[in-house]
Amino acid sequence: MLKSPLRYPGGKQKAISQITHYLPPKFKEFREPFVGGGSIFFYVLQNHYHIPCWINDINPELYYFWTMVKTNLPQLVESVWKVKKQTTDGHALFKSLSPAPTSKMSPLERAVRFFVLNRITFSGTIESGGYSNASFHSRFTDSSIERLAALDSCFTNTHVTNYDYSILLTEPGDDVFIFLDPPYFTNAKSRLYGKKGDLHTGFDHSRFANLMKECSHKWLITYDNCEQVRQNFSFAHIYEWELQYGMNNYKQEKADKGKELFITNYPYLSGDIRQNQNEQYPINQNHSQLGTSTQLLELDDC
């Protein structure tokens, strides 16, 4: 089974079994505007064969990484192996890569830098965390590079972009399903993403809700459970679940546990109904309901 080669803050690898219960029973195209580590994307690749996929992230380093996975994976893997074989001092490696001027690097160099930093920083936080000696020894491993190499030929029918997420919401398509894992509302001060957290702290949650209300494609959002989010999405179906991250902040000593939400613009169908359904069900934008489920998510386990 393919898994994301990245360790990603807030990633959904361990929650896949729960999230996939809420996916539509069928769709012809998959889009993920905040792809991050891409755990749900990889699930779709393996379970919805041959459908076109469109993954996107506003983080340029993620964009270059996924682009190189798609277009130049053998060279990317070879370059990462070279770094690993030549490195014995993880902290020195971090100090050489972290401040490097990415604007002067080639796309391949940026992808190599991103992957290596992802493996050797605290919880894979790249630019917002710090060096982790434990990660250098236990996460930057032969198996981590082999997992990357295993993605060969997986991206044949995948489009990779670095757009504002709204583009993926408005672009026409036939029977499109969109999975979204945006920055969380109650973590507005979090600095996990981008340089000094600039990709997280500036996210406009009201704009996001308004755009989702206008989106005609089927969509599923994972979001934090707070009153403002519930108000913003009062037009949609809301389901509550619980999870625990391995670490929410790189300076935390104990992981947080909290309630989260699945939000959809289509009603959730139980397993029996999903198996027996042969026709696309209608989208209902005027009904909100609450379900409850529990899932544990360990962040730093890859």
How confident is the model at residue 257, as a pLDDT? 52
Same-domain pairing of 54 and 81: no
Q: Cα–Cα distance between 117 and 126 in angstroms, integer?
A: 5
The pLDDT value recorded for residue 126 is 78
CA–CA gap between residue 139 and residue 7 (Å, rounded): 9
Q: Kindly give, in sequence order, each residue whose CB lies less than 8 Å from that of residue 1, ignoring residues fewer than 6 positions away.
A: 46
Q: What pLDDT is stored for residue 173 in this prediction?
A: 98
The whole-number pLDDT of residue 292 equals 43
Q: Is 158 contained in some domain? A: no
Are 267 and 226 in a shared domain?
A: yes
Please check whether residues 75 and 50 belong to one and the same domain. Answer: no
Question: Does some domain include residue 5?
Answer: no
8 A C-beta contact, residue 14 and residue 8: no
Residue 155 lies in a domain: no
CATH of the domain at 263: 3.40.50.150
pLDDT at 241: 87
Domain C-terminal end among 126, 149, 172 = 149
Question: In this structure, are 31 and 83 located in the same domain?
Answer: no
pLDDT of residue 186: 86
Print pLDDT tens along the chain (302 aa).
Answer: 788 999 877 657 778 888 999 999 999 999 999 999 999 999 999 998 789 999 999 999 999 999 999 999 999 999 999 999 999 999 999 999 999 999 999 999 999 999 999 999 988 877 767 999 999 999 999 999 999 999 998 999 999 999 999 999 999 999 999 999 999 998 755 455 555 555 557 899 999 999 999 999 999 999 999 999 999 999 999 999 876 554 444 444 444 555 799 999 999 876 544 444 433 333 333 333 444 443 333 333 45
pLDDT computed for residue 254 by the predictor: 43
User: 172 and 118: one domain?
Assistant: no
Answer for the pair 23, 41: CB distance below 8 angstroms, yes or no: no
Q: Strand pairing partners for 53?
A: 30, 158
CA distance 33 to 59: 11
In this structure, the answer to whether residues 51 and 169 fall within a common structural domain is yes
> Residue 106: which domain range?
67-149
Residue 199 lies in a domain: yes
Does 248 fall in a domain?
yes
How many folded domains does the chain comprise? 2
- Shared domain for 124 and 238, answered yes or no, is no
Looking at the domain assignment, is residue 204 inside a domain? yes
**Same domain for 74 and 200?**
no
Is 1 domain-assigned?
A: no
Q: Which residue has the tokens 């074989």?
A: 85
Q: Are residues 114 and 171 in the same domain?
A: no
Q: Is 255 contained in some domain?
A: yes
Rounded CA-CA distance 245/300 in Å is 9
Residues 126 and 197 in one domain: no
Tell me, what's the pLDDT at 282? 36
Are 117 and 185 in a shared domain?
no
* Alpha-carbon torsion angle 263, 269, 271, 277, nearest 10: -140
pLDDT at residue 2 in the model: 84
CATH number, domain at 108? 1.10.1020.10
Q: Please identify, among 83, 115, 149, the residue that sits at the C-terminal boundary of a domain.
A: 149
Please tell me what DSSP assigns to residue 137: H
Amino acid letter, residue 225: N
Same domain? For 116 and 172 the reply is: no
